[in-house]
């Protein structure tokens, strides 16, 4: 194989001015804008996590006042959920890859795509303003009546920020749905699509159907704070539990907005690095839709102790268990794909192995919490914190990082350091488990979440957790360094450094602004790794 040459003409060389970036309609450039901005918010949210873990290294509340601590975990949650996890995989990798994966020149609505980035930035600016103006202390869940009447912090600006960022998410989902329906290359029917695209389709459905509900809930909360209306105010007969219902109607499916795209990434990676077609392709495709649909009918498992009826709780408990079925379908099918596959251990695949372990633990501990009696014991303890971090950080961020390492050569045409990226993948896995596994035990022993002090006997586990967070933080910082380094000094990647078969690897890296010189017409089945295909496409 000849040495690859870095292409002189690509989407990055197409204009170097600030204007050519800030007014771009190219989905690839918008993806890069998202990559930069969500990374900034990720490290800001991480800074608040550092504060939390520092405070919890000792049993006494000796670093922050209780009010300050409340603001720290609130801002950590709001920034990580709304400004990092929700946009992470879809807005960066989905934005960049869906058009080339389906043989299109761009998303259906390039201007709306740019608008959604600006909405994201405006939403983020409101949140930053609230931080500068003194923070907010309601928890990321904004529960009423505290958020509506009692809290004296900046609830309104943050609520407005979340509302605006929500519309950014809706527009991304809308764009993907229309793009996947209307922009596929001729001959690329639904069951030839990469599972990454299926996962994003399911995610987009949640974004389009769920986000408006939390948006209107925030509007109602806003009218209470700004105009003295009383929709959730118990003094006027309003029901704070209604707020919880409406909030979780979005915010539970929102977990699937975070995890489904990561599951799509994992499908691509497993297939590529085992050189096999995904086992049970259509089952994996439909399991994404099933997760999206089931996700909408399980929300009240967040409210088992909020005074909802026992019968409702039983139904929601049962339904919550049913989410395990499509999730397990995916895990079993990935395992079956690997069976007798030609497995390799490249860096993206290391993230997949890490993902398997963390997603498994995170998913199974979810069943503990879906069980009515157990949940009464574990509700609002560190067990819940550990559980959702295993899914949202262990699952979603491992998928995001795995995907970023996989497609980085496609995004920028250059390879990063193989050695350091492996070190980083291992640090993230070890650091993550050290941080969050002790929290399962802490929660089981009864340590509640959202307190800045705790009894002395919990200190050993808390120190382990804080130490793990330091390792995890290092694991997250390393990629920033070697990714930046790769932009200038990395080896030229060539069109398909991993020998993957997807359409996005058929164009140059980095791609042309139009993605393809000619619209691909001979569309293969997804994940074709028969010897003939490998030979003819020169994938090796």
Partner 1 sequence: MSNGIAHAEGPTPTHGHAHAHHPALQHHFDTMSQQREAGVLGMWVFLLTEVLFFGGLFFAYALYRSWYYDAFAAASKSIEILPGLINTVVLIASSLTMALSVRSAQTNQRKATVNWLIATIILGSVFLGIKVYEYADKFAHHHVPGASFQFAHVPAPGEPHVEEAVAGHVTTMGPDELERTTQIFFSLYFTMTGLHAIHMIVGIVILFIITWMAHKGRFDDEWHAPVEMTGLYWHFVDIVWIFLFPLLYLVERHN
Task: Report in angstroms how near the CB of residue 267 gets to partner 1 at its nearest.
Answer: 25
Contact with partner 1 (CB under 8 A) among 18, 132, 227, 309? 227
**150 Cβ contact partners less than 8 Å away, ≥ 6 residues apart:** none
Work out the widest C-alpha separation in the chain, in whole angstroms: 76
Q: Is 268 in the site for partner 1 (CB under 8 A)?
A: no
- Please say which residue, 236 or 532, places its beta carbon nearer to partner 1: 236
d(CA 126, CA 133): 10
Q: Is 384 in the site for partner 1 (CB under 8 A)?
A: no
Task: Report in angstroms how near the CB of residue 298 gets to partner 1 at its nearest.
Answer: 17
Q: Within 10 A of 347 (CB to CB), how many other CB atoms are there?
A: 22
DSSP conformation class of 351: H
Q: Is 528 in the site for partner 1 (CB under 8 A)?
A: no
Contact with partner 1 (CB under 8 A) among 2, 456, 518, 522? 518
From 19-27, 325-333, 392-400, 532-540, span contacting partner 1 (CB under 8 A): 19-27
Of 403, 401, 456, 460, the closest CA to residue 432 belongs to 401
Helix axes 66-78, 110-132, angle to 10 degrees: 180
DSSP conformation class of 308: -
Q: Is 462 in the site for partner 1 (CB under 8 A)?
A: no
Q: Is 448 in the site for partner 1 (CB under 8 A)?
A: no
> Is-contact 388 459, C-beta < 8 A?
no
Reduced to 3 states (helix: H, G, I; strand: E, B; else coil), residue 449 is coil
Q: Is 110 in the site for partner 1 (CB under 8 A)?
A: yes
The H helix count followed by the E strand count for the chain is 18, 0
Distance of CA 67 to the CA centre of its chain: 29
- Please say which residue, 147 or 333, places its beta carbon nearer to partner 1: 147
Contact with partner 1 (CB under 8 A) among 178, 297, 453, 491? 178
Task: Report in angstroms how near the CB of residue 106 gets to partner 1 at its nearest.
Answer: 4
Contact with partner 1 (CB under 8 A) among 3, 152, 235, 309? 235
Q: Is 396 in the site for partner 1 (CB under 8 A)?
A: no
Of 238, 158, 139, 153, the closest CA to residue 229 belongs to 238
Q: Is 514 in the site for partner 1 (CB under 8 A)?
A: yes
- Please say which residue, 20 or 282, places its beta carbon nearer to partner 1: 20
From 218-226, 318-326, 380-388, 459-467, span contacting partner 1 (CB under 8 A): 218-226
Distances (CA, A) of 531 to 146, 210, 273, 287, 342: 63, 44, 15, 29, 12
From 202-210, 267-275, 345-353, 442-450, span contacting partner 1 (CB under 8 A): 202-210
DSSP string of 94-136, one letter each residue: IHHHHHHHTT-SS-S-HHHHHHHHHHHHHHHHHHHHHHHTT--
Contact with partner 1 (CB under 8 A) among 33, 512, 526, 539? 512
d(CA 344, CA 3): 22
Reduced to 3 states (helix: H, G, I; strand: E, B; else coil), residue 190 is helix
> Is-contact 288 195, C-beta < 8 A?
yes
Structure-block tokens of residue 146: 């505290």
Contact with partner 1 (CB under 8 A) among 52, 79, 89, 104? 104
- Please say which residue, 189 or 236, places its beta carbon nearer to partner 1: 236
Contact with partner 1 (CB under 8 A) among 53, 75, 85, 106? 106
Contact with partner 1 (CB under 8 A) among 513, 520, 527, 529? 513
Checking phi first, is residue 282 left (phi over 0); if not, alpha (psi -120 to 50) or beta? alpha
From 44-52, 109-117, 152-160, 345-353, span contacting partner 1 (CB under 8 A): 109-117
**152 Cβ contact partners less than 8 Å away, ≥ 6 residues apart:** none
Q: Is 522 in the site for partner 1 (CB under 8 A)?
A: no
Contact with partner 1 (CB under 8 A) among 89, 155, 177, 503? 177
Q: Tell me how many degrees the CA angle 240-453-252 measures, rounded to the nearest 5.
A: 35
Task: Report in angstroms how near the CB of residue 227 gets to partner 1 at its nearest.
Answer: 6
The binding site for partner 1 (CB under 8 A) comprises 9-11, 13-15, 20, 24-26, 104-110, 112, 170, 174-175, 177-179, 181-183, 208-213, 215-217, 219-220, 223, 227-231, 235-239, 242, 246, 512-514, 517-519
């Amino acid at each position: 194989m000849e040495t690859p040459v870095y292409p002189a003409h690509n989407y990055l060389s197409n204009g170097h001015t600030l204007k050519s970036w800030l007014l771009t309609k190219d989905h690839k450039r918008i993806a890069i804008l998202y990559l930069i901005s969500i990374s900034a918010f990720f490290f800001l949210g991480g800074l608040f996590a550092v504060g939390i873990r520092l405070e919890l290294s000792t049993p006494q509340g000796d670093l922050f006042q209780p009010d300050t601590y409340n603001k720290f975990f609130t801002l950590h949650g709001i920034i990580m959920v709304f400004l990092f996890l929700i946009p992470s995989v879809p807005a960066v990798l989905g934005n960049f890859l869906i058009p080339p994966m389906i043989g299109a020149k761009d998303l259906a609505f390039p201007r709306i795509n740019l608008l959604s980035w600006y909405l994201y930035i405006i939403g983020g600016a409101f949140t930053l303003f609230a931080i500068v103006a003194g923070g907010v202390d309601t928890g990321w869940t904004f529960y009423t009546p505290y958020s509506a009447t009692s809290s004296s912090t900046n609830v309104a600006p943050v609520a407005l920020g979340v509302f605006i960022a929500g519309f950014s998410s809706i527009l991304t989902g809308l764009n993907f749905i229309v793009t996947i329906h209307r922009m596929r290359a001729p001959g690329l029917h639904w069951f030839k699509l990469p599972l990454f695209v299926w996962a994003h389709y399911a995610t987009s459905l949640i974004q389009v159907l769920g986000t408006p509900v939390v948006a209107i809930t925030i509007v109602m909360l806003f009218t209470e704070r700004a105009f003295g209306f009383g929709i959730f105010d118990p003094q006027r007969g309003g029901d704070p539990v209604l707020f919880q219902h409406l909030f979780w109607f979005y915010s539970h499916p929102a977990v699937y907005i975070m995890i489904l795209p990561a599951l799509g990434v994992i499908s691509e990676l497993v297939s590529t690095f085992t050189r096999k077609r995904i086992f049970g392709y259509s089952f994996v495709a439909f399991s994404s839709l099933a997760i999206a649909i089931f996700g909408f009918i399980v929300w009240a498992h967040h409210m088992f102790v909020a005074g909802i009826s026992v019968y409702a709780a039983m139904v929601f408990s049962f339904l919550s268990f049913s989410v395990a079925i499509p999730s397990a379908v995916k895990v079993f099918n990935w395992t079956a794909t690997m069976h007798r596959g030609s497995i390799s251990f490249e860096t993206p695949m290391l993230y997949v192995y890490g993902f398997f372990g963390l997603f498994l633990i995170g998913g199974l501990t979810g069943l503990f919490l879906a069980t009515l009696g157990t949940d009464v014991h574990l509700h609002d303890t560190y067990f819940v914190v550990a559980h959702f971090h295993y899914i949202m950080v262990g699952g979603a961020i491992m998928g995001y990082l795995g995907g970023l390492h996989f497609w980085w050569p496609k995004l920028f045409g250059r390879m990063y350091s193989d050695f350091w990226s492996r070190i980083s993948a291992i640090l993230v896995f070890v650091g993550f488990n050290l941080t969050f596994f002790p929290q399962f035990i802490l929660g089981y022993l009864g340590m509640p979440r959202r307190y800045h002090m705790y009894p002395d006997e919990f200190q050993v586990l808390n120190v382990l957790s804080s130490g793990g967070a330091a390792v995890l933080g290092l694991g997250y910082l390393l990629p920033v360094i070697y990714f930046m380094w790769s932009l200038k000094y990395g080896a030229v990647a060539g069109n398909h450094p991993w020998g993957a078969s997807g359409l996005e690897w058929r164009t140059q890296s980095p791609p042309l602004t139009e993605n393809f010189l000619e619209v691909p017409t001979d569309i293969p089945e997804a994940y074709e790794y028969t010897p003939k295909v490998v030979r003819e496409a020169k994938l090796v």
